[in-house]
Amino acid sequence: MNEKNEREKFKEELDLAVFNKTVKKTKRKVLFRHILISVIVTVVVGFGFKLTSDWLIQYRINKWYEEELFLTVIREPNVQVTGANYTYDAFKATARTLVTKKVGGRIIPWDKIETYIYPFRDPRAKDPSGGNFGTYNEDTKQWDMIHEATGKRVAGFFHPDIMYENLPNNMNLLSKMRKDQYIEMAISFDQAYTLKEVENFFQKKHLNWLWLNSFSKDRIKAENETNSMLREISTTTGYGIPYPIELSDTIIRTLQSWKKLQPDNPAVSSLLNITNDKKGNLKTENLEIIGVIISGEPSELLQYKDQPFVRASSLGATVDKY
């Protein structure tokens, strides 16, 4: 009897051991399955997130390049954006852009812009490598604007309806300049002119940039009520477009996008003022041009000295021909 009980007890213990072993094996299989599923889900989700992130970054790059760099070209006189180089990491792209000026037949490096572009928030730009600062010229009793990065002069504009204590006439400097240089000069007009009239004033090879009348009546009134010294320092504000003029689909599309998505953006209302019908109807014949950037050899530009349409002339960057 005892022997039978011992056999049964042994059998029960053996069955229990087999059961426990089976349970442990099953647990390991379940654990492995859960780990495998977790890894697969993590990989799929991570891959999906990376694809989504990359797509959003590329979308934002295209949007940023079209809008922000376009704004750079129309806001800064006579500059060109020469494209951008991109580096990527897991959560952003870094765009490095070179901004140049064309003066006569030479290209001058002007600024470097570094922008961080993210998938889920707005791009963030580092400060440009060069800002402008003013130095008071005792000889001319005027402010000269200097570009910090290059040390070159920055040409200024003077609106025909805003009063200034002193208006520069830097055309007088041309006869003193070397013949082996190219000169950039900002010409401010005595009133607004059409493109056809401007092309009659200047040789087309000398025209680089057209300053457009983006000033509202309220802004002109406010400018005239400010201190005259501040008006002289702030002579480079406004918007313009490169010449030869190309009112491309990009410009139209960008402005339409701004009108819909950024109705409170001051740049939108200012840009709508650049046409003489004040409705943003961007056609060549509607543009109000109140100044230009010209460039060339000093002897070539002397022909525009003392012309009746010139209210002020401001020397900009200079560069050696060779």
- Going residue by residue through the chain, which has 322 residues, state the pLDDT in tens, using 9 for 90 and above: 555 555 555 555 555 555 566 656 666 776 777 787 878 877 777 666 667 667 777 777 777 776 666 777 777 888 888 777 888 887 788 888 888 899 988 898 888 888 888 887 777 777 655 577 777 777 766 777 888 888 888 888 999 998 887 888 999 999 889 989 999 999 999 999 988 999 999 999 999 998 888 777 888 888 888 766 666 555 556 777 888 766 444 555 565 565 555 555 555 555 655 555 555 555 666 778 899 999 999 999 999 999 999 999 999 999 998 8
Q: 65, 96, 129: which is the final residue of a domain? A: 129
Note whether 271 and 297 are same-domain residues: yes
- What is the 8-class DSSP label of residue 63? H
Give the pLDDT of residue 231: 60
Note whether 170 and 310 are same-domain residues: yes
Note whether 183 and 168 are same-domain residues: yes
Token reading at 84? 């951008």
Note whether 178 and 300 are same-domain residues: yes
Q: 79, 112, 129: which is the final residue of a domain? A: 129
Note whether 95 and 157 are same-domain residues: no
Q: 105, 129, 153: which is the final residue of a domain? A: 129
Note whether 86 and 165 are same-domain residues: no
Note whether 306 and 174 are same-domain residues: yes
Least Cα distance to 187 among 72, 99, 306, 101 occurs for: 306
8 A C-beta contact, residue 292 and residue 198: yes
C-alpha span between 198 and 57 (Å, rounded):
42
Note whether 139 and 113 are same-domain residues: no
- 142: phi then psi, degrees, rounded to nearest 5: -140, 165
Domain that holds residue 101: 1-129
Q: Is the peptide bond before 244 cis (omega within 30 degrees of 0)?
A: yes
For helices 2-75 and 249-261, angle between their N-to-C axes, nearest 10 degrees: 110
**Claim: this prediction has a pTM higher than 0.85:** no
Note whether 228 and 91 are same-domain residues: no
What's the domain count of the chain? 2
C-alpha span between 198 and 273 (Å, rounded):
19
Tens-place pLDDT, residues 52-67: 667 777 777 777 776 6
The CA dihedral of 171, 158, 238, 117, to the nearest 10 degrees, is 50
Note whether 191 and 178 are same-domain residues: yes
Token reading at 63? 């949007």
Note whether 82 and 7 are same-domain residues: yes
Q: How far is CA 59 from CA 117, 123, 260, in A?
A: 10, 12, 19
Note whether 201 and 266 are same-domain residues: yes
